[in-house]
């Protein structure tokens, strides 16, 4: 048996969109099950996201902390953002987010991992990049708004982050998946063996 996720689409008898938001919407599909029954499934339609695990020369990860209203917590996270333009190159989006949220640029980019955040209720796909050879971005800092005006910053050693993840002290999915993937990649061929930054992404196809 080959262990690999594969595309598949079951028959949809009816579909509607009862809610449309600024960036996301909610869709309701009547889906035909293998036994022939028809079941209603509600899920959030999401444009997709990118996240950046930025690793400095001292083996520290760049973190930001901001308020997340749905969970009523301030979470430590890695820089991330939406794919605002359909078909947008995810690398370009990741570079933009690293600049806007942290005023940092990177010379070395790799794909760390790709995930579906909550596939039982949302179609969001996230590509997590590894960014190295960091330096401060040129020019003025990006003008933040809303939750981002209250952001805090830190650089935390990888070993300490792993301890925080396993202790249940940090919860952001991109941070958790990203740092554990980083550790795994180091033991499986090294970071330079990771996929190139422009590797295909079937979940969110893009132009080079």
Q: What is the CA radius of gyration of the chain?
A: 19
The contacts of residue 154 (CB under 8 Å, 6+ apart) are 62, 63, 65, 76
Told to judge if 100 belongs to the known catalytic residues of this protein, a careful annotator would answer no
CA atoms in the 13 A half-sphere facing the CB of 7: 4
Strand partners, 80: 51
Of 97, 136, 143, 148, which is the active-site residue? 148
173 class by beta-carbon count within 10 Å (0-12 exposed, 13-18 middle, 19+ buried): middle
Query: What are the catalytic residues?
Result: 148
């Amino acid at each position: 048996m080959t262990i690999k996720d594969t595309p598949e689409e079951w028959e949809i008898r009816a579909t509607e969109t009862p809610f449309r938001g600024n960036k996301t919407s909610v869709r309701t599909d009547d889906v035909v099950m293998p036994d022939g029954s028809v079941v209603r499934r509600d899920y959030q339609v999401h444009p997709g996201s990118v996240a950046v695990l930025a690793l400095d020369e001292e083996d520290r990860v760049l973190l930001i902390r901001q308020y997340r209203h749905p969970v009523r917590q301030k979470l430590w996270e890695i820089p991330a953002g939406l794919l605002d333009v359909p078909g947008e190159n995810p690398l370009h989006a990741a570079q933009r987010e690293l600049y806007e949220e942290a005023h940092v640029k990177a010379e070395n980019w790799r794909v760390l991992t790709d995930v579906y955040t909550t596939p039982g209720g949302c179609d969001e796909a996230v590509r997590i990049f590894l960014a190295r050879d960091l330096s401060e971005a040129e020019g003025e800092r990006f003008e933040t708004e809303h939750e981002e005006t209250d952001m805090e910053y830190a650089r935390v050693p990888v070993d300490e982050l792993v301890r925080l993840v396993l202790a249940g002290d940090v919860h952001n999915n991109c941070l958790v998946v990203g740092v554990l993937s980083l550790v795994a990649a180091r033991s499986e061929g090294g970071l330079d063996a990771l996929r190139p930054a422009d590797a295909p992404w079937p979940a969110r196809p893009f132009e080079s």
